[in-house]
Structure 1
Amino acid sequence: MKNRTVINIAEVAKRTLSLEATAISDLKQYINGDFEKAVEWIAECAGRLVISGIGKSAIIGQKIVATLNSTGTPAIFMHAADAIHGDLGMIQHDDIILCISKSGNSPEIKVLVPLVKNFGNRLIAMVGNTESFLAREAHLILNTSVDQEACPNNLAPTTSTTAQLAMGDALAVCLIEWHGFSAADFAKVHPGGTLGKKLYLKVGDLSRLHQAPQVTKQSALKEVIVAISSGMLGVTAVLDAEGSLSGIITDGDLRRMLEKGIPGESVTAEVIMSTHPKTIQEDELAVNALEMMRQHDITQLLVLKDKRYIGIIHLHDLIREGII
């Protein structure tokens, strides 16, 4: 078994992050006319952006495709090796091709590029060598040159793939802003999981799962206790004679009443209710209800439709849905 080299792990990690951070910062000098034209081409493209690469660059390409698709820019991935064995058939007339390569001279890229150009498609190169075959043949160049890899042998793609990933993010964010892609648009393509729920789940969707416990200001203590128990939320709303919201009673209010020694026989809801309860409209996002609960250190909100009380949303609802 080979002896392990003794290293300073923290120093190696910090050096790696420093090299990659510098490489990303240095990319700013390459945001030029070609980059701007690439954003314009892709934004106005009638087809899709087809991203291709080989090796580690192919993996970066797949991530960029995922980011673009999730933010409103149609994109597909085509592996450079598979392209020359049939996958070229996925390229359509209006598609734009983005080839990603550090060297720009890999054999697969050299075979692929002339075929793409013969199709008449526009070709963008994301490349770390602006003197390479790919750079010379491309219509536009996104320069991702780096001074050195973080790998101590300056061989394993580390800094270079980080630069590619960052340049892809810069491209994607420009396209997001170009299209005015909003949080609502994001929710449409991310309906699943916690992220999706934060973007589309409304307060009313959750409050409708419960009863809407309520009493009047004149209700006796027994009615209040029954309302709180039947709702199983530890709370009831208090309405006035016209049905408008007047206050709220929690099980905590009941305990405090008992601690004060107030005789229960003559107590009405009006005596023990808290006025000015915290409320939220039914069409608000559920994640906003969570923020209100945190802000006021409470576990439930009364839900309104305009000014009318219609139910309750509880912290447990948000936990169950994975909002927290």
Structure 2
Amino acid sequence: MRCDTCLHQNPSISNKSPITPPAESSPASIMNTASTILRSQSMALTHLTELYAKDDFTQKNYISAIQHMHNSQLSGGKIVITGMGKSYKIADKLVATMNSLGIHAATLHPSDALHGDLGVLRPADVLIMISASGNTPELNTLLPHVPAGLPRICLTCNPEAPLAKSSAAVLSAHVPKTLTEKELYGVPAPTTTTTACLAVGDAVCITLAEIITQEQEQRKKNFGRWHPGGAIGNDYQKETKDAKVLYRDIMTPWANIGSVDDDADELEVLRAAAGREWVCIGQSRLYRGHELARQSRNHGIALSSLRKVGQKDQVADLKNGEIVIVMGDFNSIVGLVEN
């Protein structure tokens, strides 16, 4: 059996790499440890999946947390994520993911916050505290100095902990005691708990991104635009180059085109044209906004004379100088395109 004390006392021995590993470092033992860790993390994620699928408390708090974050984004605020140790590293990763998805976010180290960085917080922000235990001393010290009224959300493996109970919402990353690091291999080195917190954080990022930008194609475009480097950037550039341009991608939405009745007076027409490229009078004739002052209502372009296309039609056949009407469901006009 290997004696670590003897090896420590005899540097000439301890510095040598044995050709044949000792029993406790045999290939079987090494793979057994790897399997144990991977299995336990998989089981922790399975437990979380069941929790979010069936537990009422978990679901209500998750929805509440997402609503707080969404309101913050709509109000021009940001999501500030804080934590100590490994939790801060998770915060750093989640902020990077959020920013790449167009979600305004920033990290805040608790110690730095007490030495001036607290100024990063603004009234429209939301603070997410990551704490596996739910009782991180540095976060407890920080809380009294967080501006009153700022929503606080706790991402924790212990939803009943003090930090969770003092928060507006809890993001549960609960891990059963049997799957905690100390129970599994005797050392509380963050592994299953950090995996659980990171997985829940990733779920938050994607959920929020889908709410902010509901159309998947637009989310893909945004992500590619904000992530131009590396393999992801290269793939996006290739997709963009190979992609076929559709009318829906380049049209002027019909909602952005001014519209007035046939009997509208000159002032109403000019108001409808303000800041708009096109104005439709009486739903029958189309006018360029900047030309309206010099045209009579007998001129303009008759809508009935324009070619109609579908949103998903390709733009390849659009002739030079041609104007087309883009049609949506139930034969409704959804946009206008001019080459």
User: What TM-score results when the alignment is normalised by the length of structure 2?
Assistant: 0.57
Q: Secondary structure at the match of 1:93?
A: coil
Provide the C-alpha distance between the structure 2 equivalents of 1:88 and 1:54, rounded to a whole number of angstroms: 15
Match for 2:110 among 72, 76, 80? 80
Distance 1:202 1:34, change over 3 A: closer
Question: Which ranges of structure 2 fall in alignment gaps of 5 or more residues?
Answer: 8-21, 53-57, 247-314, 318-339
Alignment counterpart, residue 39 of structure 2, candidates 10, 15, 18: 18
Question: Match of 1:223?
Answer: none
Deviations 1:185-205 (A, max 9, x none): 11110122332232134786x
What is residue 227 of structure 2 aligned with on the other side?
190
Checking the alignment, whether the CA contact within 8 Å between 1:281 and 1:306 is kept in structure 2 is: no
How far off its partner does 1:81 sit? 1.8
Over aligned residues, Cα RMSD in angstroms? Answer: 2.7
The answer for the alignment partner of 1:161 in structure 2 is: 194
* Partner of residue 140 from structure 2, selected from 80, 90, 110: 110
Change (3 A) 1:145 1:282: closer
Match of 1:6 in 2: 24
Q: Distance in 1 between matches of 2:228 and 2:124?
A: 29
Alpha-carbon distance in structure 2 between the residues aligned to 1:74 and 1:44: 12
Match of 1:144 in 2: 173
Distance 1:110 1:281, change over 3 A: closer
Classify the secondary structure of the residue corresponding to 2:189: coil
Q: Separation in 2 of the partners of 1:202 and 1:143? A: 37
Query: Do the aligned partners of 1:43 and 1:73 also contact (CA within 8 Å) in 2?
Result: no
The alignment status of 1:90 with 2:127, answered yes or no, reads no
Pairwise CA distance, 1:137: 1.1
* Identical-pair percentage: 33
Kept in 1: contact 2:245–2:316 (CA 8 A): no
Check whether the contact 1:123–1:140 (CA below 8 A) recurs between aligned residues: yes
Contact 2:86 2:194 in 1 (8 A): yes
Mapped partners of 2:159, 2:123: distance in 1: 27
CA contact (8 A) 1:38 1:140 kept: yes
- CA-to-partner distance for each residue in 1:137-185, whole Å, 9 max, x for gaps? 1111111121233461141111000000000011111112212252111
- The answer as to whether partners of 2:95 and 2:105 remain within 8 angstroms in 1 is yes
* Residue 5 of structure 1: how far off its partner (Å): 6.7
TM-aligned CA deviation for residue 79 of structure 1:
1.0
Q: Is the 8 A contact 1:126 1:144 kept in 2?
A: yes
Residues 185-226 of structure 1: CA deviation (Å, up to 9, x unaligned) = 11110122332232134786xxxxxxxxxxxxxxxxxxxxxx
CA–CA separation in structure 1 for the residues paired with 2:120 and 2:138: 17
Return the offset for 1:90. 0.6
CA shift in 2, pair 1:56/1:203, >3 Å: closer
In 2: Cα distance, 1:142 partner to 1:203 partner: 37
In the TM superposition, what is the alpha-carbon distance from 1:106 to its structure 2 partner?
A: 2.0
Matches within 5 A, 1:1-324: 2=4, 6-7=24-25, 8-28=29-49, 29-30=51-52, 31-45=58-72, 46=75, 47-116=77-146, 118-147=147-176, 148-150=179-181, 152-179=185-212, 180=214, 182-201=219-238, 306=316
Contact 1:57/1:100 (<8 A) preserved: yes
In structure 1, give the amino acid aligned to 2:68: W
Cα shift readout 1:246-274 (whole Å, capped 9, x = no counterpart): xxxxxxxxxxxxxxxxxxxxxxxxxxxxx
Shift of 1:38: 1.0
Q: Distance in 2 between matches of 1:136 and 1:197?
A: 45
Amino acid at match of 1:105: N
Could you list the per-position Cα deviations for residues 54-92 of structure 1 after superposition, in whole angstroms to 9, with x for gaps in the alignment?
Answer: 011111111111111111211100012211121111111
Counterpart CA distance in 2 for 1:202 and 1:103 is 44
SS of 1:92's partner is coil
Q: CA deviation at 1:94?
A: 0.5
Given that 2:44 and 2:192 are in contact with CA atoms closer than 8 Å, whether structure 1 keeps it comes out as yes
1:52–1:5 distance in 2 versus 1, CA, 3 Å: farther
Say whether the 8 Å CA contact 2:40–2:192 is kept in structure 1: yes
